[in-house]
Structure 1
């Protein structure tokens, strides 16, 4: 057998191997596209967590100045929940306190119903207030946190989707840690 004859067998094998690899790559790409498509539940979960995070960002702004005036809280909270925050802001104004620092969050969706109208979701969050401090605005001094409250506590928010996701019920359990 000559070198030329040996080489002639290699060429068809290489072509067959290359064609097989290309076919595998293309079929893998087609399959992953189907898996990457977002389901309505996945999109709803992302929207819920985005709205919940935005609500907390606005709430943090309010607590830093003891006022809801410069916030978009009405966009993320139902009227009853907004009144609760406004009552808290009035108390803080009377006591001449504001909040400083940051809150940590670990929100998870514990229930989601997108087959009913309105869509509903329940978010369970473990809030870490270890870097969140009460500040006396007249002296500038930090005030100690209440002794009977956990530093990490559970927040539960029930949300509904109308024009957008809003918090319709909000509860904090500061007596039990998470």
Structure 2
């Protein structure tokens, strides 16, 4: 009996989302996309969002250290669309995340109104060849989890 194709596609979409975060953390750790493979997992609006973040970090002289906690789940899947899509809903956890000044290494406190755990959503699309790509990423800092 063949495996559940929807479960397999959910797993592939989720794997692409997780891999995108691995590459994004490499980039945030040095405020540069160089050496990170963001374009392998993110494109379109999502990639533009991350590149804007990196540009802001460079201008501010800030890098991110530590780790960002995640609990992503595929909350919607449409394999019948002309471009199959998945929606990933994640709970980001900032407990072990730290921004620092690049030159001094001094920690930068998060704003007092910044929730330490908040939701984010991503649109992940299956492109030609079966490859899943994160095409939209939206943090929802006003939605705690």
TM-score normalized with structure 2 length: 0.93
2:49 match: 84
Q: Verify the 8 A CA contact 1:109 1:121 in the aligned structure 2.
A: yes
| Cα deviations by residue, 1:16-70 (Å, 9 ceiling, x for unpaired) | xxxxxxxxxxxxxxxxxx4xx4111011011011101100101111100001121
Gapped regions of structure 2 (runs ≥ 5)? none
1:70 aligns with 2:35: yes
In structure 1, how many angstroms separate the alpha carbons of the residues matched to 2:5 and 2:101? 47
Aligned to 1:128: 93
For residue 81 of structure 1, report the CA deviation from its aligned partner.
2.1
CA contact (8 A) 2:49 2:137 kept: no
CA distance in 1, matches of 2:122, 2:80: 19
Aligned residues: 143
Tell me how far apart the structure 2 counterparts of residues 51 and 106 of structure 1 sit (CA, whole Å). 14
Tell me the CA shift for residue 165 of structure 1: 0.8
The whole-number CA distance in structure 1 between the counterparts of 2:121 and 2:45 is: 16
Instruction: Output the TM-score relative to the length of structure 1.
Output: 0.77
Aligned to 1:166: 133
**Distance apart, 1:84 and its partner CA:** 1.7
Q: What is aligned with 1:30?
A: none
Structure of greater relative contact order (alpha carbons < 8 Å, 6+ residues apart): 2
Cα RMSD (Å) of the superposition?
1.2
- Superposed CA deviations along residues 66-105 of structure 1, whole A, max 9, x for unmatched, are 0112111112112332122111111111111100001111
* Higher helix proportion (structure 1 or 2): 1
**Counterpart residue number, 1:93:** 58
Bigger radius of gyration: 1
Where do 4+ consecutive residues of structure 1 move more than 2 Å? none
